[in-house]
Amino acid sequence: MTAASKIDVTLATICAPSEDVVAREIEGDIVIVPLVAGIGDADDELFTLNDTGKAIWKQLDGERTLGDVAKVLAQEFEAPLAELQADVLGFAGEMTTRRILAARG
Amino acid sequence: MSEFVRQVKQPVKPLASRLGRLDIELTERCDNDCVHCCINLPAGDAAARAREMPTAKVKEILRQAADLGCMQVRFTGGEPLLRPDFEELYLFARRLGLKVLIFTNARHVTPALVDLLARIPPLVTIEVTVYGMHAESYEAVTRAPGSFAQFRRGVDLLLERRIPFVVKSALLPQNRAELDEFETWAATIPWMTKAPGHSMFFDLRNRRDDPEKNRLVESLRLTPEEGVAVLTRDADRYRKGMKEFGSKFMRPPGDVLFGCGAGAGLSVDAYGRAQPCMGVRAPGLTVDLAEKTLSDALDHFSTLREMRATNPEYLRRCARCFLKGLCEQCPAKSWAEHGTYDTPVEYLCDVAHAQARWLGWLKDGEKGWEVAEWRQRVEAT
Ligand code: SF4
Ligand code: SF4
């Protein structure tokens, strides 16, 4: 990946799609298209999300904390909260480092 | 990367989107006046400019394309960079999440444009057409004084800012002696992953049908044997590639007219008319986007696969000819030269036969529609 540094996110962090990408929903898939240079490893790369990534992405509205997102998803999928918290933090950490998500808090 | 996100060149289900690809000819005008070109209206043609789609119309079409799931738009022309709103349209397309493929002669690549392309990359490698390696040859083709220096400056700007581009040539008597020089130079361009392509089998008539131009184009055409000599410069690679291609794609097509990608994408001309591909410009296969949408156009072209050839000459030859996969004959070429979908273009027929003879698929005097054991011959390449 490009020279991006790891960004620490916590359950108190609030994330939203960054202005450096365009997220498109095509036939049920989320396709993230870099807008600015240096997001993907190569010049022409796009990003797609698996089902968990999609579910998390849809909750990242720039208002809820990551902790709240994990709670909502734990209820929705009837899964242990600790598991969802780990997933949400892992996802948000990676996506903010790549500048696909913008974080505050 | 984690399991949540994958980096891909294309979305996982690109075929699920209704519109695979969109081509937009932003203008038919060009500041080159190339001897062989099938469009080239003068850059200053005020009437043509007045008829071109306004910025808002192009944006509306781009938005419709994105809504249909399209991932890539090609901006071509004429010379697309002649449009004063090019950067605005480019940015608009990129902000919709479209990749943008730019076809250009590079004469209007400016520092401001490369700044933009460096900041907001097109996500597809730009394609630059080259008409000669020296001012004399280049401008003998473009008939535009000063064009060579502008082209070189444009290419240098792309190189300096490391904006990915590839080059291809229009191979003409004026620059044919420079073929080696061109290919050697092309190999130094960091994004050239394979040898450059050459346009060399030029259409008669097409959009600029006039007897004088047709005579000129005929005089510029390579003979089929000369064409084969160019294609087979790297003989081993050509033979290997054709064997592989041949076993996959060679077979008599029957009477199906559009066995190609036409209609999977759409092409929009400078005046807002949608066609199934850039070459098929028949009124019956044209949808005016002033009144209809891209979605209407896709519906209109959905019957393309059911269209059948009726010309007896086509049915006697092309429909039964195993060279069809290799031959450039297609409804667009037929339309350009004859104004029908299914009239064999003799020049392309001769070129295909010359290639097949070189490959040993045909003996002297044999025709592609006469050979029953063509599979064995292709296998034996
Ligand atoms: S140019 Fe010919 S082969 Fe290509 S898409 Fe058009 S009709 Fe089909
Ligand atoms: S080689 Fe001739 S007969 Fe065969 S497909 Fe081409 S134009 Fe038709």
Tens of pLDDT, residue by residue over B283-339, are 999 999 999 999 999 999 999 999 999 999 999 999 999 999 999 999 999 999 999
Within a domain: residue A4?
A: no
Which pLDDT does position A5 carry in this prediction? 59
From A37, A40, A49, residue closest to B118, measured CB to CB: A37
Q: Residue B132 pLDDT > 60, yes or no?
A: yes
- Looking at the domain assignment, is residue A66 inside a domain? yes
Q: Do A22 and B97 touch (CB under 8 A)?
A: yes
User: Does B13 score more than 90 pLDDT?
Assistant: no
Q: Is the Cβ pair A47, B66 closer than 8 Å? A: no
Residue identified by tokens 């469009």 is B39
Instruction: Tell whether A74 is covered by a domain.
Output: yes
- B103 phi, psi to nearest 5 deg: -100, 125
Q: What is the mean pLDDT of chain B?
A: 94
Ligand nearest to the CA of B331: 1
Number of A–B residue contacts, CB under 8 Å: 95
- What residue in A sits closest to B164 (Cα-Cα)? A43
Of A35, A41, A46, the CB nearest to B94: A35
Architecture of domain B22-249 in this structure:
Alpha-Beta Barrel (3.20)
Q: How far is the CA of B349 from the centre of ligand 2 (A)?
A: 5
**Percentage above 70 pLDDT, chain B:** 98
Partner residue opposite B119 with nearest CB, options A37, A41, A43: A37
Put simply, whether A35 touches B (Cβ < 8 Å) is yes
pLDDT for A3: 42
CATH of the domain at A27: 1.10.10.1150
Residue with tokens 């903010």: A96
Which pairs with CB-CB distance under 8 Å and at least 24 residues apart come from B218-221? B220/B35, B220/B36, B220/B172, B220/B173, B221/B347
Ligand 2 pocket test target in B311, B316, B324 with most atoms within 8 Å of CB: B324
C-alpha of residue B348 to centroid of ligand 2, in Å: 7
Q: CB-based contact (8 Å) between A30 and chain B?
A: no
Yes or no, beta carbons of B9 and A40 under 8 Å apart: no
Q: Tell me how far apart the terminal alpha carbons of chain A are, to the nearest angstrom.
A: 25
pLDDT category of residue B6 using cuts at 50, 70 and 90: confident
CA distance B152 to B185: 12
Residue A23 near residue A6 (C-beta atoms within 8 A): no
Give mean pLDDT, residues B5-19.
Answer: 71
The confidence score (pLDDT) of residue B20 equals: 86
pLDDT (average), residues B45-57? 98
Q: What is the pLDDT along chain A (105 residues), one digit of tens a residue?
A: 444 556 789 999 999 999 999 999 988 889 999 999 999 888 788 999 999 999 999 999 999 999 999 999 999 999 999 999 999 999 999 999 999 999 987
ipTM of the complex: 0.92
CB-based contact B97 A52, cutoff 8 Å: no
Best probe of the B interface among A33, A50, A99, by most B CBs < 10 A, is A33
Q: Residue A22: its chain B contacts at CB < 8 A? A: 94-97
CA terminus-to-terminus distance, chain B? 44
* Inter-chain CB proximity B1 and A29 less than 8 Å: no
Ligand 2 center to B329 CA (angstroms): 6
Taking 90 as the threshold, does the pLDDT of residue B130 lie above it?
yes
- Tell me which of A3-7, A59-63, B86-90, B219-223 is least confident: A3-7
Residue A93 located in a structural domain: yes
Q: Which domain holds residue A100?
A: 14-104
Strand ranges in B56-98 using DSSP code E only, listed in sequence order: 72-76
Helix (H) or strand (E) holding B369: none
Q: Flag whether pLDDT at B236 surpasses 70.
A: yes
pLDDT digits (tens, 9 = 90+) for B338-348: 999 999 999 99
CB B61 within 8 A of CB B70: no
Among B2, B97, B123, select the one facing A44 at the smallest CB separation.
Answer: B123
Number of domains in chain A: 1
Tell me the C-alpha distance between B75 and A37, whole Å: 20
The pLDDT of residue B208 = 82
> Is residue B14 scored above 60 in pLDDT?
no
**pLDDT value at residue A4:** 52
Chain A residue numbers touching B71 (CB-CB < 8 A):
26, 31, 46
pLDDT, position A1:
41
Q: What is the mean pLDDT of residues B91-105?
A: 98
Which residues are within 8 A (CB) of B157 and not within 5 positions of it... i.e. 6 or more apart?
B109, B110, B111, B113, B114, B163
Residue A7 lies in a domain: no
pLDDT at residue B358, rounded to an integer: 97
- Summarize the confidence of residues B147-171 as an average pLDDT: 98
Residue of chain B nearest A52, judged by CA positions: B4
Q: What token pair was written down for A104?
A: 């505050």
Q: pTM for the complete prediction?
A: 0.94
Q: What was the pLDDT predicted at A7? A: 72
